[in-house]
Amino acid sequence: MKLKAPVSLTTRLALLFAVTTAGLLIVTGIVLERAIMKHFIELDDHELFGKLALIENLVEKARTPAERSLLPQSLEDSFVGHAAVGVLVRDEAILFAVHPEQFPLDLLNGSPLPQSRFRWEKAGRHYVAREKVFELPPAPGEPDRVAAVVSLDVTHHEEFLESLGIRLWLGILGATLIAAILGWWAAYQGLRPLQRITEAARGLSADHLEARLAETDAPAEVRQLVDALNDMLERLQAAFVRLSDFSADIAHELRTPVSNLMTQTAVALTRSRSNDEYREVLASNMEEYERIARMVSDMLFLAKAQRGLLPHPDERVALGKEAVALAEFYEALAEERQIKIVVGGEATVSGDRLMLRRAISNLMSNALRHAVPESTVDITIALKGPQASISVRNEGEDIPANQLGRIFERFHRTSPDRHRHGEGAGLGLAITRSIVESHGGTVDVLSSGGITVFEILLPSATAVRPGIRGSMTF
pLDDT at 468 over 60: no
pLDDT, residue 418, reads 41
Q: pLDDT: is 1 or 225 the higher one?
A: 225
Structural domains in the chain plus CATH codes = 9-163 (3.30.450), 220-306 (1.10.287), 315-473 (3.30.565.10)
| Cβ 439 vs Cβ 349: under 8 Å | yes
Range 231-236, long-range pairs (CB < 8 A, 24+ positions)? 233/204, 233/209, 236/209
* Residue 419: per-residue pLDDT: 41
- CA 29 to centroid of chain Cα atoms: 37
Average pLDDT (374-386) is: 91
The per-residue pLDDT for range 406-418, each reduced to its tens digit, is 788 766 665 544 4
Q: pLDDT category, 471, cuts 50, 70, 90?
A: very low
Cβ–Cβ under 8 Å, residues 321 and 310: no
Whether 378 has a pLDDT exceeding 90, the answer reads: yes
Q: What is the pLDDT of residues 140-160, one digit of tens each?
A: 666 677 888 999 999 998 889
Residue 465 has pLDDT above 50, yes or no: no
Q: pLDDT digits over 282-296, tens only?
A: 888 888 888 788 777
What's the length of the chain?
474
The answer, yes or no, to whether residue 198 has pLDDT greater than 80, is: no
| Vertex 208 angle, CA 207 and 210, to 5° | 125
The per-residue pLDDT for range 417-449, each reduced to its tens digit, is: 444 444 445 678 888 888 888 888 999 999 999
- Using DSSP, state whether 429 is helix, strand or coil: helix
Query: Model-level pTM?
Result: 0.47
- Amino acid making up residue 131: E
Is pLDDT at 380 greater than 90 in this prediction?
A: yes
Considering the chain, what is the average pLDDT of its residues? Answer: 81
Which run of H or of E encompasses 318?
strand 315-318
CA geometry: angle at 312 spanning 466 and 431, to 5°? Answer: 75
* CA gap 400, 30 in Å, rounded: 78
The whole-angstrom distance between residue 110's C-alpha and the CA centroid of its chain comes to 75
Among 215, 245, 240, which Cα is nearest to 229's? 215
pLDDT (tens digit per residue) in 252-277 = 667 777 888 888 888 888 888 888 88
Per-residue pLDDT at 41 exceeds 80: yes
pLDDT tens for 199-220 read 777 777 766 777 777 766 666 7
Decide if 152 contacts 127 (C-beta within 8 A): yes
**Closest residue by Cα to residue 435 from 373, 380, 356:** 356
Residue 302 binned pLDDT confidence (cut-offs 50, 70, 90): low
> Which pLDDT band, with edges at 50, 70 and 90, does 385 fall under?
confident
Of 151, 98, 103, 100, give the one whose Cα is nearest residue 128: 151
Half-sphere CA count of 39, side-chain side, radius 13 A: 9
Quote helix, strand, coil % in the chain, to nearest 5: 55, 20, 25
pLDDT in tens, 329-348: 998 888 888 899 999 999 99
- Alpha-carbon Rg for the chain in angstroms: 52
pLDDT of residue 417: 42
pLDDT in tens, 103-146: 888 888 878 888 888 889 988 899 999 988 887 766 666 667 78
* 393 has a pLDDT exceeding 90: yes
